[in-house]
Structure 1
């Protein structure tokens, strides 16, 4: 386990040495990884850092509002509405790796545009060790690792938590005094709900996934999963009222893990699963059925794409 105090001292010193007198932006998503990276960078270079949150339209329910409230102490925080641009770029894209590439390109171009206006030459990211392992090992591309375009218009990319596992990042978050809603938050994929929607990404499918994920997180809060969410995996027949419908199939996934490299499907009580399916199908007329994923990692990955 990392020595947290020593890590914080070394990380802030490294950030300061890398960036020097230049300006930097931080890609802030609201997850624990980018929040820790942002806080370390803010401590290291202060107002030379501009945190930027990109609203892609692929975020969790209430994410944008929460970011604005949680990081209001960083006066330079910018929230960019890029929803239309991301959905347009994803139109017709069905391959999981292509999705990640499109989203990675979209993020970097948004950051480049903002950096140019701010005269910032460095980009700070919350990439952690498992992200690098999975991208370099060909398991999947992370939008901030393997999903980056080959040409990036920054003098340098700074990744202060690149050698940490998720549980170590949480330890650093606690030491830095970040709110529990950040330090204990379940992992969320960099490409957002795009990888919790199989096939083409559309506003309708993302809306279904967003509401279903909210239900899952709410219902499983007391069951302490390492990660729990819902994904839209296709369509199937069902019955709503007296009518036959062809609606979305939502798969619920809840796993236990230490670092995300391996994971076990969580054994949940039947009544909990029934409450989840009842809420998801009852609040969305377009959902025909809900299934529960019992597959471990390996052979599956935690996310669906």
Structure 2
């Protein structure tokens, strides 16, 4: 009886926070759903007729949607490959004892605490600027023509910038997993004559499988909504070359003033993100059960 009363009291005390959280999530979503069924253009205030699914049909059949969807998948996939592979390599490096190990670990993790807008501005003006950037200086030093990264390879440049931000996170998770590996297994493998690659592929990599799955899950959820880096560096261009779904919704809502179409795009983006999240959650569940 006491346990039932304590549980009831706990539910009662936590209910205001739960209700506030639900309201914080449901109210904006409900408003977005409502606006997505209207022809709501900010340039024509007061004329908001109900159009049903028309905005969704227009958004899904717009060629920009296909381009933005492909760019989103390339952005997420490219960043995941770089951060997972780079995180494993850096984790292996930082797991070895060397002088100044603590300082190096702090320097490796530091980019994760830089705001996305600030890091994008630093890369745009200090590294990728075709006139005064560091990369331009290096190209000139070896007798090559400077390469305008943001104009000639915009999506690849954004992938590089975002990877630099998320590499410390992957490194931290994978390094922690590496340090939890039983050293006796590695010593036994060495005594049996196993080399580094044999130990890596047959002992370390299987041990890192769960950590890699967690990194992929968490990063994918955040990478689907990348926006600041695109806004600061390329504005989705040239053309649609670096436009992802998040930036497309922003452009249609606030640059083209079509709130109805942008709201429909936002709902589509939320549905796609939830599909990806459910798939990844099932994948990580199977991995943890294995």
If the length of structure 2 is used for normalisation, what is the TM-score? 0.24
- Could you say which structure has the greater relative contact order, defined with CA pairs below 8 angstroms and 6 or more residues apart? 2
Q: Which has the higher helix share?
A: 2
Using structure 1 for the length normalisation, give the TM-score: 0.23
